[in-house]
Structure 1
């Protein structure tokens, strides 16, 4: 982690455990909202949907779905089967869904947090990522700390492959050592209450050379630990194979500040609880 900004933990989950999480993820596709409530998630700079949409902003203590851009037409009608229409589901799966809670607060996660030196780790958000075949969208290069700013200790992402993640179906691409280059920009709650944009970036998007990235193809059950400052991305999935993943972010609460202008804040139903003392079952 210190050298490259990420660590690959193979066999973090067993095959049947991945299958259980994947089944839970597919079950979520059966609970999509009505047309009027549908929201498209995108990390592309040209899309401002999530920046002005309260549906996104208020997902801190809820389980909400976000559609692939190519899955929904301009009227909000689905162009594909609901089972392959979602980009992701987030952001309080770790507390509100019993299956995801069980794995998020497992002994192996607690052990990793101890090995990383966390004193009071807390999960602040969780997401199920679908990366559906043919329409799985691109994730632009970014640092997680852009969205989850903490100081002086950065957050750590747990990215768990529930299926084989290959170059063909959109595995992560990471820029090794980029975590040593500081915080490149931040997404913040807009102090201008009269603005139509609820959230704003403090700087323009960074341009990163393709040569700085390396593909990190991993097998089913692998967990990639991501330093909050490491730059990573993923390509669109144009293959016939899906690339499901479960990811959540841990922050240090002891002697560390979680920025009050981060988009996500503690919610009544999703407080930032201590990983070590939180049970797998509610």
Structure 2
């Protein structure tokens, strides 16, 4: 599906921007050309095949309990130091009580993170804004739709920064459920500003655990808790009450925007089945989730998150993810 130069320059059409603002999410079909999807899958399989188990701490990724706000999130040094590295985290059901894998390693990994956008040239290419910007790792993709920088500009970012990136493998038969959560709980700025860019590298369906969204919840669901590093500890994370702003700036946000007469439990989630190559944008306050994958077909996605790095936004030193050394989080604007 082709786009005009004005659509590419704007990142989002007016209708797309309106849908995102009203619902808190947006699906952009065919955002990645097939050749790029293939290249990213090839890189994913190369990473899965090449990492060593010899010195791996067998860290498993935990989703934080039934409601996503529990205290059992992963928090060892291998995880906490991953902001400037590429590291591998296993599905909870892929490791037995003795710490041994119950599946081949390429079918046991839940997540690869969190600096793919800095250390993997194929993934870094998605952030390139022009051929001139491709001198550093990553090759400019000429037919990439909805370029992240252009999308961020359309969403009102002044200085968008990519702070983490991940490949998530919803593995066949053991792919864990992710309970309802909000991304700004884990990637907090004062005030909240996170937006997720979620790319399907394989079809995501109801059968293999696609995302589901609670439309409009970004307007009324506050960021009540935050995942932070435990104070005075070299390892460990915990959920703490959020004592800062709970919504982005704007009169459209607030707990009084909640639909009258309906509890959170009565709200209906909308499934987001998407084809490979699709981009899903996710507001940091939006409640979303995914179910277990008990099917024989997995799904692989790539996601990165953008926060506002401009004036008036503070990235808290308690956040579990800290800035990599040097220039800090990766700017989207050249």
Q: Settle same-fold status: TM greater than 0.5.
A: yes
Select which of 205, 225, 235 maps to 1:185.
Answer: 225
Residue 270 and residue 235 in structure 1: after superposition, are their counterparts in 2 closer, same or farther (change >3 A)? farther
CA distance in 2, matches of 1:14, 1:123: 22
Whole-angstrom distance in 1 between the partners of 2:327 and 2:90: 23
Q: Which residue of 2 aligns with 1:9?
A: 28
**Contact map agreement 2:197 2:304 (CA 8 A) in 1:** yes
**Counterpart position of 1:39:** 59
- TM-score w.r.t. the length of structure 1 is 0.90
The 8 Å contact of residues 35 and 76 in structure 1, kept in 2 or not, is answered as no
> Which residue in 2 is equivalent to 1:48?
72
Q: 1:258 aligns with which of 315, 322, 333?
A: 315
Matched, 1:249 2:305: yes
Q: Structure 1 stretches of 5 or more lacking a match? A: 278-282
Contact residue 149 and residue 262 of structure 1 kept, 8 A: yes
Greater relative contact order (Cα 8 A, min sep 6): structure 1 or 2?
1
Report the Cα distance in structure 2 between the residues aligned to 1:144 and 1:36, rounded to whole angstroms: 27
Gaps of 5+ in 2: 1-19, 131-146, 243-262
Give deviations 1:28-64, integer Å, cap 9, x for gaps: 112143265210001032773613x111111111100
Partner residue in 2 for 1:280: none
Give distance in 2, aligned partners of 1:36 and 1:248. Answer: 24
Tell me which stretches of 4 or more aligned residues in structure 1 moved more than 3 Å.
104-107
- TM (norm. structure 2) is 0.76
Query: In 1, distance between residues paired with 2:235 and 2:241?
Result: 15
Tell me the number of residue pairs that the alignment of Structure 1 and Structure 2 aligns: 272
Q: Which of residues 164, 168, 174 in structure 2 aligns to 1:129?
A: 168
Partner residue in 2 for 1:77: 100
SS of residue matched to 2:322 = coil
8 Å contact 1:40–1:49 — kept in the other structure? no
Deviation digits for residues 142-172 of structure 1, max 9, x if unmatched?
Answer: 1000001112251110000011111111100
**What's the Cα RMSD here?**
2.1
